[in-house]
Amino acid sequence: MTTVTGVKAEVPNDVIEMLTSRFGPLTPIGVGAWSTAFRFQRDGDDWVVRVGEHVADFEVDAEMSSYASASLPIPIVTELDQLAPPHDHLFVCVSSFAPGQPLELVNPGDWIGLVPAVADLLQAMQAVLLPVGSDAPLWSQALQSVGSDDGRLGNWQAKLRARPLQQAGYDAAMTRIEELVARPEVAGVEPTLLHCDLINRNVHVDQGVISGVFDWGCRRWGDHLYDLAWFQFWGPWMPNLDARLLERELISRWGEAPHPDRLSACLLHIAADHLAYNAVNGDLAGGRELLRRLDDLDLL
């Protein structure tokens, strides 16, 4: 029996009891695919403790703490531990709390006022260059791979093959990406920090400002247009977040429109990545929606 469960995340009762004895009363605040989060108080301040099997996600969050700024308010990770047997497959990550509500829940009127702050956020990430000596894959390589490299999606290829229509859409998207990355303007971009999951309860807004950007488990280094493409691709699912307003704001700052081939490569990768993810989760309807979105964007 578990007290809190998610798609993948689950926290046994005895683990919750252990965490309560360590941190005090816990309030569940979120269940993701890979971890479960609780809020607790320490010295009058709110903190977050997350529990999950994938320590690499927490390690990335700790690394990202060093890039925190006013425009990029990343919670600060203060503790990262492995639990003792028999729960040594679980890890615990403690970080500062970001108040507010998820960005995707703001109303259209509030979104208009938030657009400059979101543009500041994207530009703050764009200013973070790939660290010297990093072993991150080239952007052209990253675009031609999907899913996680730690095996958490299992044999997604076989599950996707069981869906011929979605497999065909995936193959077409990857073929198109291969064509695009052969172009220097796509492959030759200077890699900068990408979040790659900004509208999935991972950005909080409080009193008209962005209060936190967290869960960096999907972090990549590549074309800064990817996070703009994220807003554009998921537009029909988030109609209150008008991506056109965000693009206009960024164009006014850049002095030019996003390069169409670079943007297309990002949009195609988002679709291909999620066709794989939805196949693993058995989300047939979601896969069909992805194919319709590719068609609406006229990307294939």
Structure tokens at 155: 């044999």
Mean pLDDT in consecutive groups of 10 residues from the start of the chain, 300 residues: 40 92 94 89 96 94 95 97 95 97 96 98 97 94 84 84 95 98 97 96 95 94 98 97 98 98 98 92 87 95
Q: Is the dihedral of CA 186, 286, 231, 118 positive or negative?
A: negative
For each of the domains in the chain, give its residue range(s) and CATH number, in order of start: 2-96 (3.30.200.20), 101-296 (3.90.1200.10)
Structure tokens at 227: 């996070």
* Burial degree of 165 (CB within 10 A; 0-12, 13-18, 19+): exposed
Q: Classify residue 127 by its DSSP letter.
A: T
Q: 193 — alpha (psi -120 to 50), left (phi > 0) or beta?
A: beta
Looking at residue 9, what is its pLDDT? 57
**CA-CA distance, 53 to 184, in Å (whole number)?**
39
Q: Answer whether 29's CB lies under 8 Å from 37's CB.
A: yes
Q: Cα 53 to the chain's mean position, in Å? A: 18
